[in-house]
């Protein structure tokens, strides 16, 4: 009885300890710390944890990496493009130019790449969409997507888009996904109008197209996020959709609580 009680106590203690961080390649950390990066992007590092996130996914300097929708700011481009420049490949998959937002983002991204050819001269581009071929079948080591799943759910093409990722990856390739994490106690809105997606819902959806769940990380968790705001996740920084209404309150919460998941292609 004593041994059983002691064992249970030890298990409880271990569960309470913080998760061990994945080791970060010094070259990756150097890319994160590089003066090449914009101050605006660096300011988001405390919420986006770039080194820990990429280390969890397992990105290496010789990897072929497709990033889905890098945006005009190129947050991950500033890190991944220099890191992969010598031995790997970085492919930025831009959304289909079917909206003014997509067109503006593509123009901003192109301008950013053109402004620094020494860092971004080897950046490749592709088009992401449910009817697009993302890359040559079985050619990528990683497909990485950050806070995009809710958009595909809203448009009703999440499953079709995920299938393009599966086709592009090599056997054993990794899909790394980060998303605003919804409450387990709230039924998932199929259109994700709040911007939040339940983690179990995401896992089930991604597994349904053939991926195998390989693990999760709490590197981007934020327990202060109550997930019950009048304008959904966009109430929080960096969007501040309510503008100056309760801005200090939302600033103190910080950016959203996010799940960070890894899947493999069998």
- The DSSP code for 218 is -
Residue 71 belongs to some domain of the structure: yes
Residue 10 belongs to some domain of the structure: no
Tell me the H-state helices in the chain.
2-16, 26-33, 39-42, 45-48, 50-57, 77-84, 100-115, 117-120, 149-155, 158-168, 199-208, 247-253
238: exposed, middle or buried (C-beta count within 10 Å: 0-12, 13-18, 19+)?
A: exposed
Beta bridge partners of 68: 93, 145
* CATH number, position 207: 3.40.50.150
Residue 169 belongs to some domain of the structure: yes
Q: How far is CA 239 from the centre of its chain?
A: 17
Residue 187 belongs to some domain of the structure: yes
**What's the pLDDT score for residue 20?**
60
**What's the pLDDT score for residue 17?**
42
Residue 19 belongs to some domain of the structure: no
Residue 87 belongs to some domain of the structure: yes
Residue 58 belongs to some domain of the structure: yes
Interhelix angle 50-57/26-33, nearest 10 degrees: 150
**What's the pLDDT score for residue 21?**
79
CA distance 159 to 165: 10
**Closest to 196 in 3D by CA, of 253, 162, 154:** 154
Assigned token pair, 139? 């050619």
Contact 224, 177 (CB under 8 A): no
Domains of the chain: total: 1
**What's the pLDDT score for residue 98?**
86
Full-model pTM: 0.92
Residue 262 belongs to some domain of the structure: no
What residues make up the domain containing 122?
25-223
Other beta carbons less than 10 A from residue 216's beta carbon: 14
Interhelix angle 50-57/77-84, nearest 10 degrees: 50
Q: What is the DSSP string of 131-186?
A: TS--SSTT-EEEEEEES-HHHHHHHT-HHHHHHHHHHHEEEEEEEEEEEEBPPTTS
**What's the pLDDT score for residue 16?**
40
Contact 232, 225 (CB under 8 A): no
**What's the pLDDT score for residue 11?**
40
Mean pLDDT by 10 residues, the chain (266 residues): 44 44 94 96 98 98 98 97 98 93 94 94 96 96 98 97 98 98 97 98 98 98 97 98 98 98 98
């Amino acid at each position: 009885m004593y041994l059983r009680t002691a064992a249970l106590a030890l298990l409880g203690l271990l569960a309470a300890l913080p998760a061990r961080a994945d080791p970060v390649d010094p070259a990756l950390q150097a890319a994160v710390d590089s003066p090449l990066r914009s101050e605006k992007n660096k300011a988001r590092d405390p919420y986006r944890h770039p080194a820990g996130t990429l280390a969890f996914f397992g990105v290496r300097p010789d990897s072929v990496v497709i990033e889905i929708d890098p945006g005009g700011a190129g947050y991950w481009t500033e890190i991944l493009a220099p890191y992969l420049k010598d031995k790997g490949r970085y492919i930025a998959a831009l959304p289909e130019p079917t909206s003014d937002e997509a067109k503006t983002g593509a123009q901003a991204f192109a301008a950013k790449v053109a402004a620094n050819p020494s860092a971004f001269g080897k950046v490749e581009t592709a088009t992401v969409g449910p009817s697009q071929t993302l890359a040559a079948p079985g050619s990528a080591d990683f497909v990485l997507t950050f806070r995009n799943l809710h958009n595909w759910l809203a448009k009703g093409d999440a499953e079709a888009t995920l299938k393009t990722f599966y086709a592009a990856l090599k056997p054993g390739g990794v899909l790394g996904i980060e998303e605003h994490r919804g409450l387990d106690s709230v039924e998932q809105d199929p259109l994700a109008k709040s911007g939040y997606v339940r983690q179990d819902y995401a896992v089930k959806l991604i597994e349904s197209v053939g991926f195998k769940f390989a693990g999760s990380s709490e590197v981007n968790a934020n327990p202060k996020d109550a997930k019950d705001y009048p304008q959904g996740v966009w109430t929080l920084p960096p969007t501040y959709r309510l503008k100056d209404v309760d801005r200090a309150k939302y600033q103190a919460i910080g950016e959203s609580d996010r799940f960070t998941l890894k899947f493999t292609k069998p």
